[in-house]
């Protein structure tokens, strides 16, 4: 870690579900960096932890020390003076507890960026990857996010999911298997937000955390909603326009494949998901539900349905 402290003047991590534009946001091409004289180094998906590995914090910390930190050092080989090290990807969520322990112990200044898109946009993008009907299974098996397949978890040192009942460790996994890919994606979005509210945001001083939001269809663009404020947070100017590094869900098709776009069907699927989740959770976790992205999405769909009926 001493080597990393000599190379990184500070570290900035991104916290998201993925499918929120991190490929574009993590590109140095999105920022007006001075060639050859930049004080910032971007990393993208430097490592994730194998799903076969034990999920206790000690194992996560060992992975962070043995794999993640060397990945950063490899990318810093040609850096002669300390730079701001920035990883806005989401792969580190697979060992987040251990990584934060290691980085906090290093005394390297640490900041975090919470990156969001509308829940429905994100769920549609996640559930409709080009790999087809195995996409959500693949998403979990890669362990690049939070997933019920990491349970059951009973040891106190083991990473805990927020949206689950510890007294019924297999109930969530059973429900998850019965949900559609779109509903599973919504749970990943909700669990990521719950982790942020309960564990991540309270661990960072307000000055050391930034929250950004953008939308492909209805809201600020990725340049205005994400890249510009992140550029300010990193003390760099964002470019006026950037090239999207990936095709994002546009509300109609993904690579020519139809997706769940009918608002009425989305509302029914979301209602079913929310009711099932509520029944699964203990009272403390249920109290978070009004703050979750699924609640915002359901309110918007219900409001639109009401307007349509009145019209």
Q: What is the pLDDT of residues 80-111, one digit of tens each?
A: 899 999 999 988 887 888 899 999 999 999 99
* Measured distance CA(283)–CA(59) in Å, rounded: 31
Q: Is 23 exposed, middle or buried (0-12, 13-18, 19+ CB in 10 A)?
A: middle
Q: Which long-range contacts (CB under 8 A, 24 or more apart) does 247-251 make?
A: 248/19, 248/21, 248/121, 248/125, 248/216, 249/19, 249/121, 249/122, 249/124, 249/125, 249/128, 249/216, 250/216, 250/217, 251/121, 251/124, 251/216, 251/217
Give every residue of the chain whose pLDDT is below 50, as ranges. 131-137, 141-142, 151-157, 247-259, 307-311
pLDDT of residue 240: 56
Find the domain containing 145 and state its range: 2-310
pLDDT of residue 93: 85
**From residue 311, how far is each of 115, 151, 265, 306 by CA, in Å?**
35, 47, 19, 9
pLDDT of residue 76: 94
Total number of residues shown for the chain:
311
Strand partners, 269: none
pLDDT of residue 54: 65
Phi/psi zone of residue 251: left (φ > 0), alpha (ψ -120 to 50 degrees), beta?
left
pLDDT of residue 204: 96
Helix (H/G/I), strand (E/B), else coil: 110: strand
Q: How many domains does the chain have?
A: 1
pLDDT of residue 253: 38
Report residue 100 CA to chain centroid gap: 15
Start-to-end CA distance of the chain, whole Å, equals 62
């Amino acid at each position: 870690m001493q080597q990393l402290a000599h190379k990184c003047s500070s570290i900035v991590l991104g916290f998201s579900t993925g499918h929120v534009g991190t490929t574009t946001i993590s590109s140095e091409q999105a920022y007006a960096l001075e060639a050859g004289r930049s004080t910032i180094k971007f990393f993208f998906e430097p490592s994730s932890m194998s799903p076969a590995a034990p999920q206790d914090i000690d194992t996560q910390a060992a992975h962070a020390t043995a794999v993640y930190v060397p990945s950063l050092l490899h990318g810093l080989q040609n850096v002669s003076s300390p730079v701001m090290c920035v990883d806005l990807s989401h792969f580190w969520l697979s060992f987040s507890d251990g990584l934060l322990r290691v980085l906090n112990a290093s005394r390297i200044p640490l900041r975090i960026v919470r990156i969001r898109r509308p829940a429905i946009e994100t769920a549609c993008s996640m559930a409709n990857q080009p790999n087809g009907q195995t996409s959500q299974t693949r998403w979990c098996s890669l362990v690049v996010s939070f997933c019920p397949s990491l349970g059951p978890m009973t040891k106190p040192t083991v990473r805990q999911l927020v949206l689950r009942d510890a007294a019924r460790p297999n109930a969530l996994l059973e429900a998850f298997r019965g949900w559609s890919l779109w509903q599973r994606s919504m749970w990943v979005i909700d669990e990521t937000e719950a982790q942020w509210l309960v564990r991540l945001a309270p661990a960072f001083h307000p000055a050391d955390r930034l929250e950004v939001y953008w939308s492909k269809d209805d809201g600020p663009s990725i340049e205005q909603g994400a890249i510009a404020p992140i550029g300010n947070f990193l003390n760099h100017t964002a470019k006026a326009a950037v090239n999207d590094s990936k095709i994002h869900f546009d509300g109609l098709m993904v690579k020519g494949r139809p997706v769940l776009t009918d608002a009425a069907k989305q509302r029914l699927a979301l209602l079913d998901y929310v009711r099932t989740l509520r029944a699964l959770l203990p009272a403390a976790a249920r109290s978070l539900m009004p703050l979750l992205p699924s609640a915002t999405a359901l309110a918007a769909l219900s409001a639109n349905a009401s307007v349509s009926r009145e019209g």
